[in-house]
Amino acid sequence: MNTSESVGAGPGYQRGELTVHTEPAELAKVTRALRASGRRVHLVPTMGALHRGHLELIRRARQDVNAVVVVSVFVNPLQFGEGEDFGRYPRTFDADVQACRDEGVELVLAPTAETMYGPDPQITVHAGEAGSVLEGAHRPGHFDGMLTVVLKLFNIVRPDLALFGEKDYQQLVLIRRMARELNLDVAVQGIPTIRESDGLALSSRNAYLDEEQRRSALGLSAALVAGAHAGPGGAEAVLREASNVLAAEPEVQVDYLELRGTELGPAPDGGEARLLVAARVGPSRLIDNALVVLGGDESGS
C-alpha cells in the first residue's frame, strides 16, 4: 500500500496526499525522516469508526501548519475483555480513510494485530492503582491493554504531540501519567468532549442504540449537568442530584457514578473535581464525565 513517491521523507510519504501504512516499521521510517527534516509530528490514535469527536482531534492536530498529522486506526484486541464488543466494534475503514483525507491528514497507520503485536507478545504495561478503579474495576485489564498499545504507537510514530478526547477521561489521565512516569518525550493534549445538540457525548458505541435507547442514554449527560449545577452545594449535593436524574431512567443500568479529584484520587472538599458515570443502555456500555466546581455555597443547598 505504500505507493507514494519519495518527497523528502523517503518512500511512503507525499506531501499533501494521504498514505496508508499497514506496517508500523514503514511508518516509523517516514515519521523519523519527517522529524529530521524539521516537521513536527502530531498523532491522533483511534480505533476507527471516526465521528465528529475524532475530527475535532484531527483539526486541533492540524492547527500547527508545520505539523504532519498521523491518525492510527486499530481496534486493539488487548484492551477488550472476554464478552466485550471486540467482534462487533464498528469497522468503517474506507469511510475513515476518506474522512482523514478530507481533513488533510497525510499519514494513516492501520496495522493488523499481527503487524502490531508480532507472533508471541509477552510484555505489557501495567496501569497500576489508578487503572483499577472506575472503568478498570468494571473492565479488568482494559487499561493495561490500552496503555500498551498507546506506548507502542508513541514508540512507532515518535510524535511531538498526541491528542485524546476528554470523554475517556480516565484513559487521558492514565496516558498523561504513563508519559510522565516513563519519561516519554511526548506532549499529551486532552480535547473537550464533542456532544450532539441534545447533550449526548459522541461515541462510536452510540451506533448500537435504537431511537428509544438513544433517548434513555441522554440520562447520562443530563445527570452530569444536574451534578455540575449542584457543585456549589458540595459533593453530597452533586451526587444526589446526578443520581436522581439517573434513577428516573429505568433503561439506564448504572455501573458507577463517582465524584473524584481531577487526577482521579478522592474528591477534594472544594474546587475542581470530576464527575464520572458509566452505564449500560440496551446493547451499549456508555461513559461520560464532566468538570464540577465544588463549594462556594454556604447554605449547602
Question: Using CA atoms, how far apart are residues 167 and 53, in angstroms rounded to an integer?
Answer: 9
Torsion of CA 234, 237, 239, 244, to 10 degrees: -160
HEC-encoded secondary structure of 249-274: CCCEEEEEEEEEECCCCECCCCEEEE
Question: Using CA atoms, how far apart are residues 48 and 89, in angstroms rounded to an integer?
Answer: 9
Nearer to ligand PAF, 149 or 239 (CB): 149
Q: For residue 300, how many C-alpha atoms fall within 13 Å in the half-sphere facing its CB?
A: 3
By CB atoms closer than 10 A (0-12, 13-18, 19+), residue 260 is: buried
**H or E element: which one contains 98?**
helix 93-102
The pairing of strands 67-73 and 187-191 is unpaired
Nearer to ligand PAF, 9 or 151 (CB): 151
Nearer to ligand PAF, 68 or 147 (CB): 147
CB of 239 to ligand PAF, least distance (A): 27
* Residue 238 interacts with ligand PAF (CB under 6 A): yes or no: no
Q: Is 213 within any annotated ligand binding site?
A: no
Q: Is 51 within any annotated ligand binding site?
A: yes
Record the cell numbers describing residue 246, joined without a space.
439517573
Task: Identify residue 180 by its one-letter amino acid code.
Answer: R
Question: Using CA atoms, how far apart are residues 293 and 200, in angstroms rounded to an integer?
Answer: 21
CB of 154 to ligand PAF, least distance (A): 11
Among 58, 99, 134, 149, binds ligand PAF (CB under 6 A): 149
Q: Is 49 within any annotated ligand binding site?
A: yes
For ligand PAF, the binding residues in 154-193 under the rule CB under 6 A are 168, 171
CB of 72 to ligand PAF, least distance (A): 7
Active site residue 54: yes
CB of 149 to ligand PAF, least distance (A): 5
Nearer to ligand PAF, 67 or 147 (CB): 147
* Residue 96 interacts with ligand PAF (CB under 6 A): yes or no: no
* Residue 284 interacts with ligand PAF (CB under 6 A): yes or no: no
Q: Which residue of the set 21, 54, 126, 229 is catalytic?
A: 54
Q: Which residues are catalytic?
A: 54
Residue ranges of the binding site for (R)-pantoate: 79, 171
Q: Could you list the residues that contact ligand PAF (CB under 6 A)?
A: 45-47, 76, 79, 146, 149-150, 168, 171
Residue ranges of the binding site: 47-54, 79, 165-168, 171, 194, 202-205
